[in-house]
Each structure stands twice: as structure tokens, then as C-alpha cells.
Structure 1
Amino acid sequence: MWTSLDQTVNHKADDWNEPGDNLYGNFKQLFLLKQKYRHLKVSLSVGGWSWSGNFSTVASSQIKRARFTESAISFVNDLGLDGIDIDWEMPKNDAEAVSYVSLVHDLRVALGPNYLISVAVPCGPEDYKKLHLSEMAAQVDLFYLMAYDFAGAWDSVTGHQAALYGGTLNDNNAVDYYIASGVPPEKIVLGIPAYGRGFSNTNEKPGSSFKGVPAGTWEEGSYDYKVLPRPGAKEYFDAESVASYSYDPKSREFVTYDNPQAVKAKCEYALTKGLAGVMFWELSSDAKSQDRSLLHTAYTTFDNQVHSLNNHLDFKSSRFHNIKTGM
């Protein structure tokens, strides 16, 4: 229930005494936003790094796929959504990759052509080479490339976590592979991190040894972008790799992240490649000031353009009265 009026779209708090069975909270506010901004599409994402364990079992069974698609349609209709996002991290073998194709195929049949199906997909060759990308592309509207975490505490040396070029992992290699494998560039969305990966007791130059990672903002080694660069650190930009980072010589802390200069270059790359755009993981970590905001940088680099196709507002089969009647 919303009680703070400044946190609502229509400046009205939820009222539990309204007649009928109504939808409240975040999903109600998202629907109000969709009414206000008709280009805004809202999808429900299923899975993620922590919740992908059941995908293999569900996707490999026709009966379980049918149950999955049935529940997906119910969520779309009841909550007033524009599609479903599948975040399967990651199919481990060819059998699971084949099942993935079946899953998105059945979901497409169930949702029809006018609702969005998107997938979050890897940028590591050992993972994306398992996928049957051309078959997936026939059913999927958008491929969200998780183009980050190329470097972190699991490595032996520091490095860029989201470099566009260079190194064993980079954005460009992944983009080229997806396109060569049958994914149209206009269905590819390049992921950009809104957080940094930190390394302790190290030197300024990427590729240096380190010992440990900093406490971070929300987990060890990870900082929200909005707190970067850290006090006392100097920010750098590697034009060859298209990557930014900071280093504090006093604390000997190295943090790899994307700053506005890196985001601008990546958006220009997306335009050159004819990609659908960019996405961020995740927006609450962005800086509030326009000069540092990654989202604002992307918006202005794309010449203030947004996807113009209208969202869905007609959900007469919703079980919620206010969604069914359009509030």
C-alpha cells in the first residue's frame, strides 16, 4: 500500500476501501506510468542468477512448458504487462539449449505476436556458443546482452569488467557472434553496468595482481555507480578498450565501471551496429545529476529517441477491477 503521495504517479495514496478487487502497490504505479507514457513497456522477468535452477526441468517437459505459459499469460493479463522476459543463466548443454527454443516457441504461441518476449543472454563464448540463436531469434523480440562482469574477485589480476574491445572477453566479440549466428542487430540490446567491481591492494594499471576486494555497497567487491569514483580516487578512461575505471593510490583500490564517457561511446557503437539500444543493470544505482547519469547520457546520445510503438492498456480479462476498467 502506498501512503507517501510524492511516490505515486497520480499523487494519490492507495485506498483499501475502494470497491472491487483492485491491484495496488508497484504494479498499479507501473500501469499508471504506462498510461502517462505510452512508449513505456513493462515486462515481468523470470529467473535470474539466483533463480534459474528450475528452467531445465520446466523447459524440457511439454506439460510443464504449458503450465509455465499459462501462468505467464495470467500475469500479463492480470497485472497489465507488455511481455515476459526470460533470464535463464545459463543453459549448460545442447539438450537445455534445445529446450530453451521450445520454451520461447511455446511462449510465443501463447502470447501471440503483439506481446514482447525478451531474453537475458551471456557474453562469454563458453555460454553463448551453446545457444541455438537463429531458432531463438524467430520467436524472441529482444536479446539483452549481459555485457558486464568480465572481471572480478574470481580473477587473479585486475581488469575491465565491461570493455567494448580487447582482452579475452569484450562486448564487440559477443555482438558480432550473435549477429553472425542469425540474431538481427535490431533485436540486440547491449547491457551496461550501473555498478563497479573493486579490487584491493593493487596498482593503477589493469592487469595487476591484487589481494582481496573492498566491502562495497551491497556486496563485497561491488559498488553502486552513484558512489563512484570513491573519495580520493582519480577516474581514468581507456580509449582503446572503451572502458573506464578509478584508482586511489592511498588506499590502493582499483574499481572498474562505466562512466558517461564510456556509455556515450557504447551508445555510438550501438548506433553504428544498428542495435536496438542499450540497457542498464540496474537503474537505482545510477547517479542523480545529469552530468554523471548513465541513463541521461544514453538518452541524449540516442538523440532523445525512444521506441514509439504504443504499450498495451486494454486488459478486460484481468482479475483486478481497476486494471480491467483502466483505473
Structure 2
Amino acid sequence: MIYSIFSSARQLIQFAITALLLLFLSVGSGIAQQTSASESPSYRIIAYADGSKNSWNMGVDMLTHINYSFAHVNEDGEIYFRNELEAAQRLARLQKLKAKNPDLKLLVSVGGWGADGFSDAALTKESRDIFSESALELIKTYGLDGIDIDWEFPGQPGPGIKYRPEDKQNFTLMMKSLRTHLDSLSNERGLSGDGRYLLTIASNDNQSFFDHTEMGEVHQYLDFVNVMSYDMFTVGSETTGHHTGLYQSSPDAPTRTTTAAIQRHLDAGIPANKVVLGAAFYGRSWSGVHPENNGLYQPFEEFYQFISYEKLQAEFINKNGFSRYWDEGAKAPYLWNPDKQIMVTYEDPESLKHKADYIKEKELGGVMYWHHSYDPTEKLLETLYDGLK
């Protein structure tokens, strides 16, 4: 009796999901017949987004992909949404945006910081097949164009996640299984080339990620790799610093930079056009900072706060005692408040212009950013689009 009730409830949820998707897709297809997207940039511009209520206002003519975040991995090793009905509503909103840009690709990103379940799901061939089959079901149910895997991080400890030494090999095998299953569905539906179902990952910037993975082999199963070239200075850092600086400030400055992260991927044999540079639409800050060098690369008392670019514009940049400084070596801005002894590291249009130039210089695959909601006026997105188009 309990199973029967559960089954009926599940069927109702699935019916609601299907109805929502059909409604939004039918409306979207009608508009699409009358609307042509702007000429697509030759580089990928990928937004991580959550499909919230203001998503209708997204400048999708400037985007090539949206990664809906996040789905998770349940105890059975399957991909699922913690709130299935909410996810269906939000994905339906994002699907509707294809009316404005029919070439837009919609993926679901699985995981995120502190998301558990990957190590168990990757452990055996049987568990990997279960995980891959659930990815196909997700694609079929929500009309997706692919899957993005954000396992943070194979073989390494995280907040409450299980990890194993064999994650290194199992991560490769999991990507191989996903690729096989996705290609099978693509073939079944007559999709090929750029039209096949996508498989991407979010990778970390540091050497430890490469020590615990086989990126030189993994990339053959992936369409592209989103490099999280940010959070390089944050809560647990010894000093302040540029959390997403492009270059090394000076020869004696810390070497953890965006260019070092990208070069590490290229050195692993990943083709440049598969490497997607990560940009941060937010800042990080510290208090009790030593005043030398306007707080840059200085010891601090405690982490202050995470700050969206929207809030930075409204309350911090050359406001309330904060002055903007520019590190010419790093091609990165930062803020310093001498009275409060607070230093802020962040991204702005000037730094993003340099990153766009670097992407073109290295012939990389494009740019992704976290997170669209942090820049609702799309000032940073417009900078990337103008720099790459």
C-alpha cells in the first residue's frame, strides 16, 4: 500500500514535469519561428545559472551554453534533484530562452562544493552504468543538451564527502561510461558532430587536482573542460591575494594564477579548444589585514565575506572608504579600506578584457562564469561578449 501511494505520487510529479516542459517548449518554438538569434560568437560563453524567476531577462543572445546548477547524486548512485518540481519549473524557464537563441545549449551540472555520492557511483562498472543511465533519463525527461560533472574533487577530502585513492582511475572510467551512454542515445536519435549530447566537467586550477585525476586521458571523453580558475585566495589562505588574477603580480609574488591553471591543462595534452577559462562574478575579502602594499599579499585576522559583483558596485567600489587599485602585473583590480583594514579581491570589466585577449591569444575554447545571478545588469557578461565576438 505504501509503495502504491509513493508510486502514484511519483507519477503525478512526472506528469507535472512533462506538462510544464511541453507548455514552455511549445510557447518557445512558436516564438522561435519569428525570432533569429544574434550571430553566435566563435567562442563558448557559458553561464552557470539557477533558472530563478528573473531568468527570462537573461541576455541569451550573448551565451552559447547555460549550465543549470545543481543536481546531486543519491544513495543509489543516481542523479536526482532534491526538489524535483522546483527544478522542473526552473529548467522549463531556461528552455523557454531558446526562443531567443535557438542555438543555446542547456546542460545540468551535477555536484558542486560539498556534494557527496561520486566516489560510490564511480566505484564499479555496475555503479557507473547506473549513474550513466540516470544521466540519460535526466536528458530525456528535461530535454537537455548534455551533462556537466562538477565532482569536487576525486581522491581528495571535502566537507563531508567520501573519497578513495582509486577515485583517480574511477573518475576516468566514469567519464568513459557517460560518453558511451551519451553517444548511444545520440546515435539512436540521429545526432552527430556538434549536435551530439555534450559531456563536460568543471576542473580545478591547482596541481593537486591533476595529481588525483588522469586528465591526459579523461579529456578524450569530454567535449570541453570548464577550468575553475578562481578562489585561488580565500578562507584558508595564509595571506590576502587575487582570487582570480590572470598573471603573476611580480617574479616574487605567488604563482597561483589563471594563466598557470590554463597552462597546466594544456601541458596535460588537453587541446586548447577544449579548455574553457573560468571567470568569477564575485569577490572575496578579509579583515584585520596588515596595511602594507594596500593590503595585497598581507596577513589577515579573518575572512570577511563573499561579495557579489552587484553588491560590489552598490556598496564597495570607490565607496564607503574603499578605494580601487589596479595590479598591472596581475591584470587584476582590488579594493582597500585603510580605516577598516579590509581588502577585497574581485573581477571587473578591465580584468575581463585582458582575459578575453588571453583566450584569443591562446585560442582557447571560451569562457564560463560563476554565477549569472551575481551580475543582473550583465555588465560583466557584455564585456566578455564584446571581447570575444
Matches within 5 A, 1:1-327: 25-51=89-115, 53-92=116-155, 95-112=166-183, 114-166=196-248, 167-202=254-289, 203=291, 204-214=294-304, 221-228=305-312, 230=316, 231-232=319-320, 233-286=322-375, 288=377, 293-303=379-389
Gaps of 5+ in 1: 11-22, 215-220, 304-327
1:222 partner letter: F
1:189 to 1:8, Cα distance in 2 relative to 1, 3 A: closer
2:303 partner letter: V
Pairwise CA distance, 1:273: 0.6
1:7 and 1:296 map into 2 onto residues whose CA distance is: 18
SS of aligned partner of 1:284: helix
**RMSD of Structure 2 on Structure 1 (CA):** 2.1
Aligned residues: 278
1:7 to 1:241, Cα distance in 2 relative to 1, 3 A: closer
Highest RCO, 1 vs 2 (Cα 8 Å, sep ≥ 6): 1
Aligned to 1:321: none
1:285 partner letter: Y
8 A Cα contact 1:118 1:141, kept in partner: yes
Pairwise CA distance, 1:7: 5.4
Q: Which has the higher helix share?
A: 2
Superposition TM-score, scaled by structure 1 size? 0.80
SS of aligned partner of 2:148: strand
8 A Cα contact 1:286 1:294, kept in partner: yes
2:281 and 2:365 map into 1 onto residues whose CA distance is: 19
Gaps of 5+ in 2: 1-19, 24-52, 58-86, 156-163, 184-191, 249-253
Per-residue CA distance 1:184-207 (angstroms, 9 max, x = gap): 110111111111111112222311
8 A Cα contact 2:333 2:351, kept in partner: yes
Superposition TM-score, scaled by structure 2 size? 0.68
Pairwise CA distance, 1:35: 3.6
% same residue: 31
Pairwise CA distance, 1:282: 0.6
2:283 and 2:228 map into 1 onto residues whose CA distance is: 14
Superposed structure 1 runs of 4+ greater than 4 Å apart: 6-10
